Chain A
Amino acid sequence: MSTKSDTSSSTLAELSSQLAAAVATAGNSVVAIHARRRIPSSGIVWRDGVIVSASHTVRRDDEIPVTLPNGDSVVATAAGRDPATDLIALRVEGAKAHVAPRADSSSLRVGSLVLAVGRPGRNVSASFGIISAVGEGWRSWQGARIDRVFRLDLSVYDGFSGGPLVDASGAVLGLNNSALARGTPMALPAKAVDRVLDELLERGHVRRPFIGVAVQPVALSASVVKRHKLPSDPGLLIVSIADSSPADKAGLLLGDVLLEANEQALGRPDDLLDALSSVPSGGAVTLKVLRGGTIKAVSVTPADRGEGE
């Protein structure tokens, strides 16, 4: 049979076979998780005996059936969930599976070639595309601050959430999730997964310190700025305080204007969240408050919202 396939020389065939090899490599660490109706979702063997996946795809906490890459069925238990980043950590005993090789995702740029790998059933499947945007300092709609996220120009098909985003060598760059940003294919970088996972394995949830106030930015009057020699940045006006919250107990009042937290200026509500998340567990934060034209220092011990969720 004569053929004209020589018109496409080796470069393309080489690329194709490298992509297939990358999927095979990554597939050795991708499991199927059967914890919802319809099709199973994907998970990654992240550490020895630890699987990570997308929390929204795992609808129960115990006796979670998992199909390993070699076809074995095992049962996993949830070690913790973080609703804000939609991550879940699962523990499996004596599972024989490769821990996913990790790639350095800091070199990823818009336009880098990537593959999404999933196991929505027995077999591994893949889709292919590029990084379409890199979001810096992104805040998910559930409030988690993530230093970097990848927006993907590829299809995250049914059952792909929780699976890995891999580079051309099959090493893991991040965890794919189509629900993190309401349907837009996104990937959480491996570093962010590691950070959340550390907390989940240690205490079963991610600490999200809060003091129980709602704030909005307000401009300070010129006379106040002059009298107290303040920078002319806006402050945060307290517009509501939850009953028996840390702020309530510390004596903060409606109408107080927050200027600084631990000597960091507060210009936007995000600044307050950032300041609180850097407070060590059980520690206090010193707030500089403007009340009735005078400046006070108030010490507040944040509570942990992650607990009991």
Chain B
Amino acid sequence: MITSMLGSARGVSSNVSGLAELLRQAVVEVRSGESGSGTGIIWGGSGLVVTNAHCVRRGAPLQVDAGGKWREAHALAYHPQHDLALLAAPSVSGPMLELRDPESLRAGELVFAHGHPLGIRDALAMGVLHAVTRDRAKSPRWIVADVRLAPGNSGGPLVDAQGRLVGINSMVVNGLGVAVPASLVQRFVESALSQRAA
């Protein structure tokens, strides 16, 4: 009995390590001017990075670090209300994260935040989903999670137990982590790219 419990605790632990490895390949560090740094998510496999708008200082030189190399990047689009920014970073690539539909989230589900809090590279934090808040039209507005975040986590992924992207960590309110739902991020990227194509 005890052996099997230990076995399952070990199983969970190795699963979490696997998750950390996946996320390590899917994120970059974002640095803009002299101000602090944030985290970004490689979007669509290569060439694009999504991060928080507040991690990007307008007009300042922009760099992203993937796998230990700093590369030039530039901003393609901003969405200040959702605190999102889309960056072009041509030589960056990583795994594509599956998106999690916020409508299917349940309070108490395990969630994981990956990022570079206080400059510590590739730190993982675990917690549970607290609530999904909604706007007047009843569509998901923010993902609230009982997970410990710090400056530097901004722009990084919040994922579920299967590594699917739940949202982008944006702020801390009353000790709770607050993220932009993945559905809003996807809509933002799609509209930003279609405007450029037009």
Contact = CB atoms under 8 A, between A and B. Distances in A.
Contacts of B163: 3-5, 7-8
Contact of B22 (A8, A19, A27): A8
A126 interface: yes
Which has the most chain B C-beta neighbours within 10 Å: A4, A17, A126? A4
Interface in A1-57: 1-5, 7-9, 11-13, 15-17, 19-24, 27
B72 interface: no
Interface string B72-109: 00000000000000000000000111100000001111
B3 to A, nearest CB: 15
A7 B163 CA distance: 8
Contacts of A125: 107, 130-131, 144
Contacts of A21: 106, 108
Given A1-B98, A4-B163, A127-B128, A27 B107 contact: yes
A205 B174 CA distance: 35
B106 A23 contact: yes
B146 A155 contact: yes
B131 A115 contact: no
Given A16-B161, A127-B130, A155-B146, A7 B18 contact: yes
Interface residues of B, number: 35
Nearest to B110: A16
A20 B175 contact: no
A157 B15 contact: no
Which has the most chain A C-beta neighbours within 10 Å: B18, B21, B129, B146? B146
Given A8-B163, A20-B107, A15 B12 contact: yes
B15 A12 contact: yes
A157 B176 contact: yes
B109 A8 contact: no
B16 interface: yes
A20 B18 contact: no
Nearest to B109: A20
Tell me the dominant secondary structure on chain B's binding face. mixed
Contacts of B11: 9, 11-12
Interface string A98-135: 00000000000000000101000001111110000000
Contacts of A154: 146
B19 interface: yes
Contact of B98 (A5, A12, A117, A124): A5
Nearest to A121: B131
B14 to A, nearest CB: 8
A158 interface: yes
B108 A22 contact: yes
Contacts of B22: 4-5, 7-8
B175 A157 contact: yes
A157 B128 CA distance: 13
B162 A13 contact: yes
Contact of B174 (A13, A123, A158): A158
Contacts of A19: 108-110, 128
Which has the most chain B C-beta neighbours within 10 Å: A1, A117, A126? A126
A8 B128 contact: no
A17 B15 contact: no
B139 interface: no
Given A7-B21, A22-B108, A123-B107, A15 B161 contact: yes
Interface of B: 8, 11-12, 15-16, 18-19, 21-22, 25, 45, 95-98, 106-110, 127-131, 144, 146, 160-164, 174-176
Given A8-B15, A16-B110, A128-B127, 11 more contacts: A3-B163, A4-B22, A8-B19, A8-B163, A11-B8, A15-B12, A21-B106, A23-B107, A27-B107, A125-B144, A127-B127
9 contacts: A2-B96, A4-B163, A5-B97, A5-B162, A5-B164, A125-B131, A127-B146, A154-B146, A157-B176
